[in-house]
Amino acid sequence: MRTKLFSFALMFVSMVSFAQQDAQFTQYMYNTININPAYAGSRGALSVFGLYRTQWVGLDGAPETGCLSVNTPINNSNLGIGASLVNDKIGPTNETNFSVDISYTVQTSADFKLSFGIKGTANMFNLDVNKLNPDVSGDPQFQDFNNKFSPNVGAGVYWHSDKAYLGLSVPNFIETNRYNDNDIVIYKDKINYYFMAGYVFDLDKYEYIKFKPAILTKMVEGAPLQVDASANFMFIDKFVVGVAYRWSASLSAMVGFQISDGLYLGYGYDRETTNLNNYNSGSHEIFLRYEFVTKNGKMTTPRFF
């Protein structure tokens, strides 16, 4: 038998789902592979990326996200491949996505390339009923929420050079119903549409200071248009500082350091600009990226993204 608490929890998860849907990242400009499969191999080197995000610290049941990805070009070809694992926890739910990406790149001019990508995803969804304290334990209807599997497929395009990029993608084309009540969908994964762009400006003739504005927009049915705008400065190819603004949602600060030729460390902190700010102490995000350099110790295509 369903309880009021159970229904309330599902509505809460649904509201968070419609507002956020796919896992949300402040430092999206370093984590493009998760939303656009055409990015696979575009850096010209084997790239390994790991990220942890804890959102709305202090709020019970707030989202926690872990991400691990790898992508690389395939030598002597126009192909790139990638794989990623994303675990997203929100309240009583635990969702894990494993994705495989493949891209194909063509040279469109002396400076620009155009990449096309497809993504295949396996999703595992779990609901921890124990966190809901249902009146009737052992109810067989609750078992449907354990290890619920669903496949998906996505695609994207990515136009890029060493100084600029534009991307358009749909990571998941298939809408998936997580829970129905009398044929009314309470929790449903909807199609997310992404557009992103960025450009690197050299602020001095020695290229010691670089400035990169970037934007990411996301559209999903049932939620307002989400716009993330960021501005990062890089000094002597080592230190990065920046700010970001998520429209009508949050303000963020970002820092990064190129520890070695291959290893980069980044950190971001978000503060809500809504009334939710009164109930949490902000969000933290940290990541490491390691890229395998060539024999001469340089990246094949060194870039600020």
Exposed (0-12), middle (13-18) or buried (19+): which is 143, by Cβ within 10 Å? exposed
Burial class (CB in 10 A: 0-12, 13-18, 19+), 105: buried
Query: Cα–Cα distance between 96 and 116 in angstroms, integer?
Result: 25
- The whole-model pTM stands at 0.85
Does residue 48 register a pLDDT over 50? yes
Nearest to 43 by CA among 293, 301, 304, 229: 301
In whole angstroms, give the CA distance from residue 269 to residue 222.
27
- Least reliable range by pLDDT among 4-18, 68-82, 278-292: 4-18
pLDDT at 297: 46
At 286-298, the pLDDT tens digits run 999 999 976 554 4
Q: Find, among 36, 63, 67, 51, the residue nearest to 172 by Cα.
A: 36
Q: What is the mean pLDDT of the chain?
A: 85
Residues linked to residue 228 through DSSP beta bridges, in sequence order:
216, 246
User: What is the mean predicted confidence (pLDDT) over 234-261?
Assistant: 94
Residues of the chain with pLDDT > 70, as a percent, come to 81
Q: What is the mean pLDDT of residues 192-220?
A: 93
Q: For the chain, which residues make up each domain, given as ranges? A: 22-291
Is 190 a residue whose pLDDT tops 90? no
**What whole-number distance in Å separates Cα of residue 38 and Cα of residue 40?**
5
What confidence score (pLDDT) does residue 295 get?
59
Give me the pLDDT at residue 294, please.
67
Calpha distance 71→100 (Å, rounded): 10
Q: 22-291: what fold?
A: Porin (2.40.160)
Average pLDDT over residues 215-223: 89
- Residues 261, 293: contact at Cβ < 8 Å? yes
- Distance from the first to the final alpha carbon of the chain: 51
Which residues lie closer than 8 Å to 191 by C-beta, 6 or more apart? 170, 172, 173, 175, 220, 221
Whether 29 and 35 have beta carbons less than 8 Å apart is answered as no
Q: pLDDT tens for residues 86-140? A: 999 998 889 999 999 999 999 999 999 999 999 999 999 888 777 766 555 555 5
- The encoded tokens of residue 44 equal 């010209």
